[in-house]
Amino acid sequence: MASKLVFVLIFSLFLVSQVSSDSKKVEEPSHVSQALHVFSRGDGKLMRAVQDISKYFKDGLVSQVLTLAPASAPNPSHGINCGGLCKKRCSLHSRQNTCLRACGTCCARCKCVPPGTFGNREMCGTCYTNMTTHGNRSKCP
């Protein structure tokens, strides 16, 4: 039902803009994007119609007719203690400084440190498992 209303509204705006653009010649603004030229394939009437429709969106006239529900707010991200988690993760590693540095980077980017001292990397998702060094080795411990 709502999609039909949106379609009818856009179609009627298109028809109104076609009729109003036929009655007067409008100079093409110099700031018209190349994407609009590609979309309209150089057809002046179609370009003006798209510009008129975009003007309605910019002016907020359509937003008064179409009221959309706002997106839900993201969950507040509680900061994790990367230092403490990485210290525990790297506690048995033979090169602790290297491990802590890599773990800190991965924790900052992925907001996750796997449990335990080894393995379980898949618990942090693809961000953690797909991060690699310049030598294409796994970066995150």
In a domain, 54, yes or no: yes
Do 57 and 94 belong together in one domain? Answer: no
What is the residue type of 46? L
pLDDT at 130: 92
Assess whether 55 and 8 both reside in one domain: yes
- Give exposure, 72-97, as e/b (b: 16+ Cβ within 10 Å): eeeeeeeeeebeebbbebbeebeeee
Any domain includes 126: yes
**110 in a domain, yes or no?**
yes
Phi and psi for 50 in degrees, rounded to 5? -65, -40
What is the widest separation between alpha-carbon atoms in the chain?
Answer: 80
Same domain, yes or no: 61 and 99: no
Q: Could you tell me if 57 and 98 lie in one domain?
A: no
135 occurs within a structural domain: no
Q: How many CB atoms lie within 10 A of CB 15?
A: 11
Residue 141 lies in a domain: no
Range of the domain at 99: 82-130
Would you say residue 75 lies in a domain?
no
Mean pLDDT, all residues of the chain: 74
Tell me, yes or no, whether 17 and 42 share the same domain.
yes
pTM recorded for the entire structure:
0.44
69-126: per-residue pLDDT in tens?
555 544 545 678 999 999 999 999 999 999 999 999 999 999 999 999 988 888 998 9
- Domain end marker among 65, 90, 117: 65
| Residue at 43 is within a domain | yes
- The answer to whether position 125 is within a domain reads yes
Structural domain count, the chain: 2
pLDDT digit string, tens, across residues 9-63: 677 766 666 655 545 555 545 455 555 555 556 566 776 777 777 776 666 655 5
Cα-Cα-Cα-Cα dihedral sign, residues 5, 9, 14, 20: positive
If residue 50 lies in a helix (H) or strand (E), which one and from where to where? helix 44-59
